[in-house]
């Protein structure tokens, strides 16, 4: 992995740094914050929601990539896992591979990361394919080989307990959903002991893509596409007929406050 190596993390990069990033991005947008390699144990950028993921170069099972160029105009699920040749990770990478067509349908690219060697990744992919016989065709997404852990540190994917010990430090099960403008829209952090749920990842993408298109709603607990959504409290009563011509339900509450307004008109 080669992080874009700059001396300072700048939230408002200068004009010159802006132009140095432009070749990686297909969007007219503010440039990324810049990764600093100051420390091998501290994230170079905050991974708070809405952070612009810094561009980076990496070696992967599909060849070297420059992240922004590879991302193109897609959404991305970038996820780390503790190590190759481990059982839970095998199920995770396998189930995510099986569901690749569902990610493709959502204009979403997948990319995994761990701190193992490229050769291990390639050997392990053969195991995953043998274990998950329902993966159609070639393994459908790249796996980043981040042997130096530099990228994992930069993206805050290293477990906190062992982060300063390169012998023991592993990537956690971090998962970032990134919008086409390279912004971190959702993050999940699971411990090594708990494999992730692919349906939940897809459900989150559905919610994020809906609210990115229709900025006046939010999706409730356990929502899946087609079910009612919540209208944002900031939407004024008089705007409702224009925004939701097919109707709005207003739920009466003991408090007398009307704040649960739902619609399936989206």
Gap between the Cα atoms of 76 and 198, Å rounded: 14
Could you say which of 7, 50, 87, 165 contacts ligand BEZ (CB under 6 A)? 87
Under the criterion CB under 6 A, does residue 89 sit at the interface with ligand BEZ?
yes
> What are the Cα distances from residue 138, in Å, to 84, 119, 262?
18, 17, 43
CB atoms within 10 A of CB 121: 23
Q: Please, which residue, 120 or 206, has the CB nearer to ligand BEZ? A: 120
Please, what is the minimum distance in Å from the beta carbon of residue 127 to ligand BEZ? 12
Could you say which of 31, 54, 82, 140 contacts ligand BEZ (CB under 6 A)? 82
| Cβ proximity of 219 and 210 under 8 Å | yes
Touching ligand BEZ, residues 136-195 (CB under 6 A): 192-193
Binding range to ligand BEZ, per CB under 6 A, among 61-69, 83-91, 102-110, 114-122: 83-91
Catalytic-labelled residue, pool 89, 115, 156, 159? 89
Is residue 181 part of the annotated active site? The answer reads: yes
Under the criterion CB under 6 A, does residue 132 sit at the interface with ligand BEZ?
no
Catalytic-labelled residue, pool 120, 127, 181, 265? 181
Q: In the β-sheet with 217-218, what is the strand arrangement from edge to edge? A: 217-218, 229-231, 261-263, 249-250
Q: Please, which residue, 87 or 256, has the CB nearer to ligand BEZ? A: 87
> What are the Cα distances from residue 134, in Å, to 6, 112, 113, 228?
43, 19, 22, 33
Under the criterion CB under 6 A, does residue 86 sit at the interface with ligand BEZ?
yes
Please, what is the minimum distance in Å from the beta carbon of residue 256 to ligand BEZ? 51
**Per-residue interface string for the shown chain with ligand BEZ, residues 42-81, x marking contact by CB under 6 A:** ----------------------------------------
Per DSSP (E only), the strands in 37-196 are 56-58, 65-66, 75-80, 108-114, 143-145, 173-178, 184-190
CB atoms within 10 A of CB 154: 26
Taken in order 45, 47, 51, 56, the sign of the CA dihedral is positive
Residues designated as active site: 89, 181
Binding site for ligand BEZ (CB under 6 A): 82-83, 86-89, 192-193
């Amino acid at each position: 992995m080669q992080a874009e190596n700059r001396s300072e993390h700048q939230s408002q990069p200068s004009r010159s740094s802006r132009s140095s990033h432009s070749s990686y991005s297909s969007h007219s947008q503010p440039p990324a914050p810049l990764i600093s390699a100051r420390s091998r144990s501290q994230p170079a950028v905050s991974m708070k929601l809405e952070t612009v993921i810094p561009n980076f170069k990496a070696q992967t099972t599909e060849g070297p990539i420059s992240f922004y160029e590879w991302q193109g105009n897609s959404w991305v699920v970038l996820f780390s896992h503790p190590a190759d040749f481990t059982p839970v990770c095998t199920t995770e990478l396998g189930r995510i591979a099986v569901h690749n067509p569902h990610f493709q349908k959502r204009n979403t690219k997948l990319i995994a990361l761990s701190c193992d060697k490229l050769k291990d990744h390639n050997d392990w992919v053969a195991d995953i394919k043998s274990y998950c016989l329902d993966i159609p065709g070639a393994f459908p997404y790249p796996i980043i080989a981040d042997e130096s852990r530099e990228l994992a540190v930069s993206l805050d994917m290293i477990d906190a307990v062992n982060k300063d010990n390169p012998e023991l430090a592993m990537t956690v099960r971090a998962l970032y959903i990134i919008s086409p403008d390279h912004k971190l829209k959702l993050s999940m952090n699971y411990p090594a002991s708990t494999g992730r749920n692919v349906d939940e990842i897809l459900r989150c993408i559905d919610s994020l893509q809906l609210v990115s298109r229709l900025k006046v709603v939010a999706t409730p607990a356990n929502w899946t596409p087609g079910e009612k959504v919540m209208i944002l409290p900031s939407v004024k009563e008089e705007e409702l007929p224009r925004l939701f011509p097919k109707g709005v339900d207003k739920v009466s509450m003991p408090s007398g406050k009307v704040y649960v307004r739902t619609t399936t008109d989206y």
